[in-house]
Chain A
């Protein structure tokens, strides 16, 4: 239960971090942010990075703020920053609702938003938020910066579009229009556990019918994603038990559930139906 040896780097600027990463990433170097997922895997020796580039000393990565209609979340912004709404309107409230489902308080004080996205656990709440709301990931390396859309970013369990030597420097979430409704529902066995299935939905009501529905499902497949058929079952319909059931059924039919020690395929499919319906009911309440 002790991590394997590694060489420790602690740059204080992004440029220095990128230069170090360029050098050590090919030699099994990894970024260390909050460490709340990476360090346990090191304790189990499931990962044994030869180098760790600790970014906790880089002040500019602590930035959390509005920027051109988007919420910009720097790589060192902790989960706990979202306990209170960080932006006016539905987005800040949505994030403060979801954050309470992430592990436990001491973990939330240390773990980071971008670290969750970089780790890409299928059951990560922030990954579901990023996929559902259409976040943009800002990946930097010493030779340049690129932006990656959420739809291209999540590629499977613990797999992302980030390549060797890239730092997820920032995640950007679009602000939600004032009248946007949202609902989040997660099922796990104990408070703070990983989700067995969860759903985040957003929509607006225009003339009594649903507009711009987004239905995201996480924890059920290798990566979180929006379910187009469930959204189609909602668009233009009234927010009724009937349309919610249709969307929930569509989501259950669309997913390809993973099987693990906690849940079989059929149980997880049934859970997806339930979490989508309950998320929609919360959004409508």
Chain B
């Protein structure tokens, strides 16, 4: 055991004061200390991408960051996507294109895609495939995930 630290996490616009050891990963802090269990932990060593969240707008593996490192950064998780009971365009597209089966990887894919589409709304097909290859899905075979993200990209552009 090492001394616990007071860390302030800003998640989806809300402030969470947590008291954690330095070794507490951001993923564990979100789930265990903030009660935000939408972020999933698969491999816990940075390979699967299930725990992807946005840190200051960029997708990051929350299992490879310590919570203490995320202090005062803007963190966004899958819980922050839907607004006023209305699904985010990516969530809607995932539903319509059957881009999930078991759903375990879905929060990670949603945050990965949100981060990239907000930064690069006109991302090329090659670059989109390269980015989506970051995360693992064991159900869908990826085709429907790619379709859903492409469709959501078009919807998000139409809204802008």
List A residues at the B interface (Cβ < 8 Å): 1-8, 10, 35-36, 39-40, 42-44, 52, 54, 56, 80, 100, 104-107, 109-110, 191-192
Out of B1, B21, B45, which one reaches A40, CB within 8 Å?
B45
Cα A40 to Cα B130 in complex, Å, equals 22
| Chain B residue at minimum C-beta to C-beta distance from A1 | B44
Contact present for A44 and B22 (CB under 8 Å): no
Q: Does B38 reach chain A (CB closer than 8 Å)?
A: no
Q: Does B131 reach chain A (CB closer than 8 Å)?
A: yes
List B residues at the A interface (Cβ < 8 Å): 1-2, 5, 21-23, 25, 28, 44-46, 49, 52, 58-61, 63-66, 68-69, 112, 116, 130-131, 133-135
Contact present for A40 and B46 (CB under 8 Å): yes
Given contacts A8-B5, A106-B60, A110-B60, A1 and B22 within 8 Å (CB-CB): no
Interfacial chain B residues near A192, Cβ < 8 Å: 133-134
Contact present for A110 and B64 (CB under 8 Å): yes
A-B contact pairs, 29 of them (CB 8 A): A2-B23, A2-B25, A3-B23, A4-B23, A5-B23, A6-B2, A6-B23, A8-B2, A35-B69, A39-B25, A39-B63, A39-B64, A39-B65, A42-B23, A52-B22, A100-B130, A104-B49, A104-B131, A104-B134, A105-B116, A106-B58, A106-B59, A106-B60, A109-B59, A109-B60, A110-B60, A110-B61, A110-B64, A192-B134
Cα A104 to Cα B134 in complex, Å, equals 5
Interfacial chain A residues near B22, Cβ < 8 Å: 5-8, 52
Interfacial chain A residues near B68, Cβ < 8 Å: 8, 10
Q: Which 9 A-B residue pairs are closest in the complex by CB-CB distance?
A: A104-B134, A8-B22, A40-B45, A1-B44, A106-B59, A3-B23, A5-B2, A39-B64, A109-B58
Q: Considering residues A7, A8, A43, A105, which has the most beta carbons from chain B within 10 angstroms of its beta carbon?
A: A105
Summed over the interface, the residue pairs from A and B with CB atoms below 8 Å come to a total of 85
Contact present for B2 and A106 (CB under 8 Å): no
Nearest Cβ on chain A to B96's Cβ, whole angstroms:
25
Cα A178 to Cα B112 in complex, Å, equals 37
Cα A42 to Cα B2 in complex, Å, equals 16
Interfacial chain B residues near A35, Cβ < 8 Å: 64-66, 69
Nearest Cβ on chain A to B76's Cβ, whole angstroms:
14
Interfacial chain B residues near A56, Cβ < 8 Å: 69
Nearest Cβ on chain B to A222's Cβ, whole angstroms:
23
| Chain A residue at minimum C-beta to C-beta distance from B115 | A106
Contact present for B61 and A107 (CB under 8 Å): yes
Interfacial chain B residues near A2, Cβ < 8 Å: 23, 25, 28, 44
Cα A44 to Cα B1 in complex, Å, equals 18
Given contacts A40-B46, A44-B45, A105 and B61 within 8 Å (CB-CB): no
Q: Considering residues B22, B25, B133, B135, which has the most beta carbons from chain A within 10 angstroms of its beta carbon?
A: B22
Contact present for B134 and A36 (CB under 8 Å): no
| Chain A residue at minimum C-beta to C-beta distance from B111 | A106
Given contacts A7-B2, A8-B5, A35-B65, A105 and B23 within 8 Å (CB-CB): no
Interfacial chain B residues near A110, Cβ < 8 Å: 60-61, 64-65
Q: A8-B5, A8-B22, A110-B61 are in contact. List 14 more A-B contacts (CB 8 A).
A: A1-B45, A3-B23, A8-B66, A36-B64, A39-B45, A42-B23, A43-B44, A43-B63, A104-B49, A105-B116, A106-B49, A106-B58, A106-B61, A106-B112
Contact present for B134 and A105 (CB under 8 Å): yes
